[in-house]
Amino acid sequence: MTGGSGGIGSAVARRLADAGMAVAVHYAGASARAAEVVESITAAGGTTFAAPGDIAEPEAMTRVFDAAEQRFGGVDVVVNTAGIMLLAPVADTDLDTFDRMHRVNVRGTFVVSQLAARRLRPGGALINFSTSITRLQQPTYGAYAATKGAVEAMTLVLARELRGRDVTVNAVAPGPTATPLFLEGKSAELVERIAAASPLGRLGTPEDIASAVAFLAGPDGRWINGQVIFANGGAA
């Protein structure tokens, strides 16, 4: 899985390991956090290893897939949580900022999806990550939402392209989730207002999102294909 050192990514890695899956924890620069995730999974009796790589570079991600195949005998589930979010009004967004998000969120997702399409075994699953912001349409999220709209489009098309392969392709679109990245720079009052906007009266947790991923990755999710699952507690 990509982005395995992040707040949601690490929760997904642990949840899949708890379900008995061997997990390759990909990371870009956060080697210490990736090592912590690997250590926690190993301590709980799971099978895992950490693999670095630039998500937007096919050669780097090919090495990650190769390592997973060599260690585990094949690749059955790919979860693509890696992404970045840089916020500004559309009128004020620097194009270098937009290009940086596009490189990670769109090109990176495309690179990993392409490899998954070629290498997932029958019965496998690809789970990409979008965002509920594509529905919430909040100011300052325009460039970020644009990258995730592209992720949704390629995900839904790929599900149709893999007809006959017995591989499902879906996306999970989290709503506001209590990760360090989300909470950074927000006042307690703002966080409370965002939480109150949900019918359930709280923020999501990384474990909430991991549950949605585990469903799609497991046997109970085999009839869900070509869908965007909005895991947001009804906030959008």
Does residue 168 lie in a domain region? yes
Does residue 76 lie in a domain region? yes
Alpha-carbon distance 172 to 212, whole Å?
Answer: 7
Domain harbouring 186, CATH code: 3.40.50.720
- One DSSP character per residue, 166-233 reads --EEEEEEE-SB--HHHHTT--HHHHHHHHHTSTTSS-B-HHHHHHHHHHHHSGGGTT--S-EEEEST
Alpha-carbon distance 125 to 166, whole Å?
Answer: 9
Does residue 79 lie in a domain region? yes
Which of the following is catalytic: 27, 144, 182, 230?
Answer: 144
Domain total in the chain: 1
Q: Is the pLDDT of residue 47 over 90?
A: yes
What's the distance, CA 129 to chain centroid? Answer: 4
Q: Is the pLDDT of residue 18 over 80?
A: yes
Q: Which range marks the domain in which residue 132 is found? A: 7-231
Q: Is the pLDDT of residue 156 over 80?
A: yes
Does residue 226 lie in a domain region? yes
Res 30: pLDDT: 87
Q: Is 141 part of the annotated catalytic residue set?
A: no
Does residue 1 lie in a domain region? no
Does residue 147 lie in a domain region? yes
Res 194: pLDDT: 87
Does residue 140 lie in a domain region? yes
Res 11: pLDDT: 96
Dump pLDDT digits (tens) for 200-214. Answer: 999 999 999 999 999
- Contact between 177 and 7 under an 8 Å Cβ cutoff? The reply is yes
pTM over 0.85: yes
SS3 (DSSP) at 75: strand
Task: Work out the average pLDDT over 123-135.
Answer: 96
